[in-house]
Structure formats: structure tokens, C-alpha cells
Structure 1
Amino acid sequence: MYISYSPLRITFGGGGTDVEPFLSKHGGAVVNATIDRGVSVRYIEDEFQLELSSRDFVRSYIVNMHRAASVTKMMADFLSEAGITNGRVIMSGDAPPGSGLGSSSSAVSALMNLVNSIRGRTVDPATLAEESYNLERNHFHVVLGKQDPYAIAYGGFKYMEFGADGVKREDLGQYSEFTTELQRRILLVYTGKTRQSSEVLMEQVKASEMGDEKTDRNLLQMKDVARRLRDAVVKNDMDEFAHQINRGWEIKKSLSSRITNDHIDRIIALALSNGAQAARLMGGGSQGFVLVMCKPENLNYIQRRMMSISNFVVRTSFDMKGTRMIGH
């Protein structure tokens, strides 16, 4: 048995600036962290025809597709091309697919890592990230940015820049006092539904392709948010970090009318009115998880209050390792 594991990720700011064509025109910047929830892909060898199972993640890919084809068949085709035609592939995740935590990229990264391991091929995180990005974009036809494959392959709490000269990564986990304190302040609140992230992102992509000045201006401001978040970590300024999360959310909402809705607005308003320092929706928009940041002394109270509006409110901490094999 082979077991490959990829953590999920949360983005504090800059998401969307890593998506083409804005990335090629202006470069992107994000601050994100992988968390202690993830996706595992297991391969059990036997003599029978290849079997793929995971109802949840099959559905998550289907909602991101832009052609009428079975994602199961595409996964089987990919595995067959890699020489894997027998056995069982079983996928499972710790959060609902399509919830804004990068679950599709986590699944693809874990799958690519699994195939590399079965074939006896060792690659570094940068290579794994690029291979996963190309697989997800070109084989599964998912509209996505660069940050998820790189965030997930490397793991950890980091500032990332994307440009013509490649990907630059700064480990923010080295600022241990800030990193430890931040993890004591985070809640994830599930909205109760998932969404089609590719369809929301396509609005941004089309607007940027058409040279829409408002879209590019907003994305440039989001890039500035990521840089200021990074600076807040370096300066150990938790209040500024929270301020930039809120600023980024306000900018994000201006990109599309589908980013938020009344239910999400109610969740965020409830969090802020009960003492949270910051709150914003994760991922491309519309549904999924809301990130709530609050002072440690208020966390238990706010978690209980958020349970009045959501059935799934959880604390989380960072995973510093990224995609890896956890069994063979």
C-alpha cells in the first residue's frame, strides 16, 4: 500500500493575483498557510482492473470542469499513462470539497506524488508543484492560480511572489512568536455549502483578458495587501495583520457580485460583532469556509457563538511539511 498526503491551505491575502492573465502582466503575491487537515490518496496493488473511489472528490472535480467528460475517466487515463492499470485508488479528505481550502489542488498534488512514488521517482517540491499545476489545468481543465499547487507542495506559513522569473517563497514560520500566536487566534466556519470556484474565477479572468482597468486595479491592491501582511508578520504586528485581512476581503468583494451573499455576510457580521478582529471567506467566493481571527481570550466564546449559525466551526493549526508520503 502507498499513501500520499497533502494538507489543505488557507489564504490570508492576495488570492486571485496568482491567476492568469493578471499574473503575467503584473505578477502576484499571496500570504498563505497549509493546515492540519488534508487529502490522502491510497494505492493498494492487486491483479484486478484499476478501481478509483471517492465520491466527494469526484464531485469536487466535476463542478470545476469545463468540458463534458467524466473526471473518473480522466483520472484513470492519467494513471494508465503512468503505467498504473491495476489495483485500487482511494481518495479521502478532511473538509468538504469545493470549500475554498484548495481541496482540488491537494488531491491532485497527492495523486501526482503517489504516481511519482510508485514509479520510484523523487522530485523536489517546486517540480511537484509545477507538475500538479499543469495536470490540474491542462488535464482536468480546472481554472486555478499558481498559489495552491506551490503552497500545498511546500507546506508551511509563507509569503509567495509569482512573476516572469518564477516563484519566490519566504518562510514566515521563522517568525515563531507571531506564528505560534496566530495559530491560537484562528477559527474556520463552514457556510454549509460548496461552490464552483472555476465559474467565479472565470469572471475575473475574462475581465482581466479584456483589459478591465477596475479589475486590474483591485488586484494590484490585493497584491499590496499580501505585501503588508508579510510586513506585519516581520514586525510582529498582529493588529495590522488583522486589518489587512479585512482590507483584502473588502477589495475581493469588488471583483464580482458572486463573491459573497447574504449568508456569508451574516456569518462575518456575527463574528465581528462578537469581538473577532478579522473575518473573510476563503477561496474564489460564493460558499465554503470563512476564516475568523480573534484574540485567544475570546476564541472559546466566539466559537460557541458561531455555532449558532454553522454546524461546523473548528480551530486549526499549521502544517509545516507539505505534500509527502506517509506510508508504503
Structure 2
Amino acid sequence: MQPALLPRGEETPASPLHLLSAADHKTPSLQPSTATDAMIIARAPVRVSFLGGGSDFPDHFRQHGGAVLATAVNRFAYVTVQPFLQEYFDHKIRLAYRRNESVNTPDEIEHPAIRAAYKKLGIEGGVEMHIMADMPARTGLGSSSSFVVAMLQALHAFHGRFRTARDLANEAIDIERNILGEAGGWQDQVIAASGGFSLVRFNRAGSYDVTQIPLPLERVQQLEDHMLLVYTQIQRDSFSVLGKKNGNQALKEKCLCRMSELAELGVEYLSSDKPIARFGELLHEGWELKKQAGSVSLPQIDEWYEAGLRAGATGGKVLGAGQGGFLLFIAEPRFHEAIRQACGNQPVVRVRVNAPGSQVIFSQR
């Protein structure tokens, strides 16, 4: 029986934990703060995608539709925005991420996404921005999009404007996919903005619908207990990996359509009382479908995946585009240590699912 699903409206909070969240507010623009001690801190979650990845690419879903089952997890990108007292310096914009930038105009900003956001929002200067993250970049968790969404949230809030989750997701998609021309789908931006444990359906008309999956707390705990994220310590840019994918196009489209079906089946399965361990079998089918569709991987990743299955996992997947990052396994907890050892004693990460979407966590204006 098809489970009842709770639609997530734009104005519906993704979680009671939201503070000035993207999903909570749509208010008239306010005047930018002129206080020298003003500060905004925003954060957006990374995501774990279970089923349907690849069907969120516009080239596919505009012809066939698509669906992705994914969850925001409790690892975040953080962006702090505050006034930059430019009268005391010889530059107007200061940025701090893995490197520091001090420039006068948005055109001089070297970070592509920050440059695009400043130009898109019409920010000329007088802003200082600091970026931090719980997880490394290029690990398949959608951290790039999480950062872009958090940055947009912070910049809008700093200038007295609040945006819905859909607004933020659409702006992030425009920056990453259109302005910067980076290959990829839309799920990362949508999940970072909306949060929650969601089924995202992508429509032929070019739109998408986000549906929250109302799993009982006990079921959520079971899923978290069965999830094992193994960090391969291999980092890559998803858009460079995506450019290498090949294979028969007709077969690829057929596989992606089946992967969309798996996302819908995943909702039914998790909403039932069937053993969580068997949920991994759906992920394994997705793994096999991606291989049929011509998705590239690395021999080491394939070896660790097969070793994980032999050690007790019922299925799993590579998170992200396929060449490195995190390997997700679904397995009974008693097999987790054996799986970790089978994967060369690589680091493992425990996460909580159903994390809130983009939100302002500190505001002083």
C-alpha cells in the first residue's frame, strides 16, 4: 500500500529546530544594517542520497521525470557575514575560506561561487565573509551546494531579506549550473535548502516537488543504526567525474528511469515494518544500474564495495559522482567493524538523518 506522505510546502518549517529558516519566512525587504557590530551566521546541511541519483539531471528529467530519495544530515557548511569597515583599509571586500582574499570589486573575487553570488545579488562591497565546514570538500555529500545555499541565506539575511527554501535552492541552482556551468543535478541544492528526509520529484516541466517522509522515531533510529559511512579519503570534483561518464545513451536513460522507481520503492520500504537491512538491497540494485549506465568508478572503490558486501552489508553506494568520497553501506550494526576492516580500516562517520535545512543560527543587526 502506498504510504501517506506529508507534502513540504514552502512556508512549512522543515524542523521545529529552525531559527529564521529558509522554509519559515517570506517577509518584505528590510533596510540593511548599519551597525558596525552586526553579524549573521547561517548554515546549511550536507546530504546523503539513497536512491535515484542521476535522475535529477535536467537533461534526463525534462524528458522522463525523475525522483531522488535523500536526507539532510547533521553536518553543515557555515557562513558568517558582517560589515567590513572599508574606510580603514585599501580594499572593500574581505573573504576567508581555505585562503584569504582582499579585493575591491566582485569581479576581482577569485572564488567562482562567491563572485557569482555577489554579482547576482548586486553586492558591491562593505561585506566580510568567513566560511567553515564540518566535512571536507569533494567527498560526495553535496558540500559545495550546501556552502552556496548557506552563503545566499547569510547574504540575504544581512541585507534584511528573507528567502524561502525554494528561493534559495533556485538561486543556488542558477549559480552552480547556469552561471558557473558546472555539471550536475539539482538534488544537492534542494536538500541543502529544504532539509529533512525527503522524496524529491523532478518534473518534465522543469519544476520539482519536495515531499517530507514522516518516519516514526523508532524507524529513523533503526536506519541510523544500520548506516555506515566509510571515508575513502579520495577527493574529486563531481563535475569533472561527471564529464567522464559514458555508455549507451538509451541504456543509460532506461537505467535512470528504473533508479527513479527505486526512490519511490524506497519510501514504501522505509514506511513499512520490513527489516532495515533489506533496504540495502535496493541500494545494491542502484549500484548495479549505475554500472550498467556507464558510470565510472575506481578499482579500489569497487574492491572495497565488494569486500563490504562479503563482510555483511546488504548493499550500498558511492555518495556523489562515483570516484571517491564516502562509501555508504547498509548493514546490521554487528557487521560494522568487519566492514570497516574490509575497507582497509578507513575512517567511518556516524550521522543523524532528517537534519533541518538552511537556517540563520545567529542574527545581530
Hey, what does 1:66 align to over in structure 2? none
After superposition, where does 1:176-195 map in structure 2 within 5 Å?
Answer: 176-195=217-236
- 1:213 maps to amino acid: A
Hey, what does 2:294 align to over in structure 1? 256
CA contact (8 A) 2:74 2:351 kept: yes
After superposition, where does 1:148-163 map in structure 2 within 5 Å?
Answer: 148-163=188-203
- Coordinate RMSD, CA, aligned: 2.4
SS in 2 for 1:142: coil
* C-alpha spacing 1:78/1:146, structure 2 compared with 1 (3 Å): closer
* Deviation, structure 1 residue 128: 1.5
CA contact (8 A) 2:307 2:339 kept: no
SS in 1 for 2:83: strand
CA contact (8 A) 1:50 1:87 kept: yes
Which blocks of at least 5 consecutive residues in structure 1 are unaligned? Answer: 59-68
Q: Deviations over 1:75-129 (max 9, x none)?
A: 2353255325123211111222111100111011011111110121112111211
1:128 paired with 2:168, answer yes
1:3 paired with 2:23, answer no
1:247 to 273, 276, 285: 285
TM-score if structure 2 supplies the norm length?
A: 0.78
Which stretch of the first structure deviates more once superposed, 174-183 or 113-122?
Answer: 174-183
Hey, what does 1:231 align to over in structure 2? 268
* C-alpha spacing 1:293/1:71, structure 2 compared with 1 (3 Å): farther
1:270 paired with 2:313, answer no
2:55 to 9, 17, 20: 17
CA contact (8 A) 1:276 1:295 kept: yes
TM-score if structure 1 supplies the norm length?
A: 0.87
Larger proportion of helix: 1
Percent identical residues: 27
- 2:164 maps to amino acid: D
Hey, what does 2:329 align to over in structure 1? 292
- 2:355 maps to amino acid: M
After superposition, where does 1:145-224 map in structure 2 within 5 Å?
Answer: 145-164=185-204, 166-203=207-244, 212-224=249-261
- 1:168 maps to amino acid: D
Which stretch of the first structure deviates more once superposed, 14-23 or 119-128?
Answer: 119-128
- Quote the Cα distance in structure 2 between the aligned partners of 1:119 and 1:158: 30
- Quote the Cα distance in structure 2 between the aligned partners of 1:250 and 1:57: 43
CA contact (8 A) 1:57 1:97 kept: no
1:316 to 351, 360, 365: 351
1:29 to 63, 67, 77: 67
- Quote the Cα distance in structure 1 between the aligned partners of 2:227 and 2:235: 21
Hey, what does 2:127 align to over in structure 1? 87
Which blocks of at least 5 consecutive residues in structure 2 are unaligned? Answer: 1-38, 87-91, 102-107
* Deviation, structure 1 residue 73: 5.7
- Quote the Cα distance in structure 2 between the aligned partners of 1:56 and 1:231: 45
- Quote the Cα distance in structure 2 between the aligned partners of 1:25 and 1:121: 35
CA contact (8 A) 2:195 2:358 kept: yes
CA contact (8 A) 1:46 1:87 kept: yes
1:47 paired with 2:123, answer no
